[in-house]
């Protein structure tokens, strides 16, 4: 599956132009016209990159970026009419990967997207885990158990892939809740328990002695891969 991009911009013409250009380049596109919708879209769709306008109707784009960086490392390219150095420095210091001013060259912008995705997808991050029974292909967004393709809800897939990004390492409940459900959900551990229970069922894990998703009591969860291979 190709990279998914969330566009957060209140200008319908800009969104339409970007949608056409991005889809013609093979990307999946999700649109949001304000900051609140944009943050919700990032949580729900777990994109590979975010395009963010600063002049949003409900909140300043800098605030959106700061809130997003509190729980996600997704690459962000700021696209704005604000051309001052102070605006650029503030956004880049807050964690944006790039800053492009309007009007802009579509071809150059697509090149900047490719560069941001290339930098984010570091070669040392496992892209495919396969132990002969369970295969998690992060690049293709596919999970197979005993050769059978498994369907997941967006939240189930987001939790599984977050664990798969750091196999054999503990990911805390707080991290998972912040990154996948969003800020303000750190105490909603019952949501996470339900999703993990469903994941174990789909992976064929025994609840008492799970093979793959292990609970670290009071801390979080670990995806166990004894013979992980990229």
Report the CATH number of the 128-223 domain: 1.10.10.10
What six digits make up the tokens of 122? Answer: 């570091």
- Pairwise CA distance, residues 196 & 214, whole Å: 10
Picking from 214, 127, 152, the residue whose alpha carbon sits closest to that of residue 223 is 214
**Mean per-residue pLDDT, 54-72:** 90
Q: How sure is the predictor about 229, in pLDDT bands with cuts at 50, 70 and 90?
A: very low
199 pLDDT exceeds 90?
A: yes
**Counting every residue, how long is the chain?**
230
Query: Which segment, 116-130, 148-162, 179-193, 211-225, is predicted with the most confidence on average?
Result: 148-162
Domain ranges of the chain: 4-120, 128-223
Name the one residue in this structure whose structure tokens are 């990967």. Answer: 97
pLDDT of residue 230: 42
Structure pTM? 0.58
The residue written with tokens 């509190």 in the block is 70
Q: Which residues have a Cβ under 8 Å from the Cβ of 39 and sit 6 or more positions away?
A: 64, 67, 68, 182
Residue 228 has a pLDDT of 45
User: What pLDDT sits at residue 121?
Assistant: 62
Give the rounded percent of residues in the chain with a pLDDT score beyond 90: 47
Summarize pLDDT for 162-187 with one digit per residue, the tens: 898 888 777 888 888 888 887 778 78
Domain covering 4-120 in this structure, CATH number: 3.40.50.2300
């Amino acid at each position: 599956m190709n990279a998914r991009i969330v566009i957060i911009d209140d200008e319908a013409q800009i969104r339409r132009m970007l949608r056409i250009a991005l889809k013609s380049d093979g990307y999946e596109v999700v649109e949001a016209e304000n900051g609140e919708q944009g943050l919700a879209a990032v949580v729900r769709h777990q994109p590979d990159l975010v395009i963010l306008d600063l002049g949003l109707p409900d909140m300043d784009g800098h605030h959106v970026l700061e809130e997003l960086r509190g729980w996600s490392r997704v690459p962000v390219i700021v696209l704005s009419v604000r051309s001052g150095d102070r605006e650029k420095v503030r956004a880049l210091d807050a964690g944006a990967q790039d800053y492009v001013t309007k009007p802009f060259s579509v071809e150059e912008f697509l090149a900047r997207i490719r560069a941001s995705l290339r930098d984010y997808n570091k070669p040392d991050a496992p892209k495919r885990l396969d132990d002969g029974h369970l295969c998690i292909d992060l690049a293709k967004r596919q999970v197979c158990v005993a050769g059978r393709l498994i369907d997941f809800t967006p939240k189930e897939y987001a939790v599984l892939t977050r664990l798969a990004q750091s196999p054999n390492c503990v990911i805390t409940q707080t991290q998972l809740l912040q990154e996948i459900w969003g800020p303000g959900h750190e105490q909603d551990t019952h949501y996470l328990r339900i999703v993990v229970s469903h994941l174990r069922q789909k992976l064929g894990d025994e609840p008492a002695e799970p093979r793959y998703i292990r609970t670290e009591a009071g801390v979080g969860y670990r995806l166990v891969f004894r013979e992980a291979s990229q």
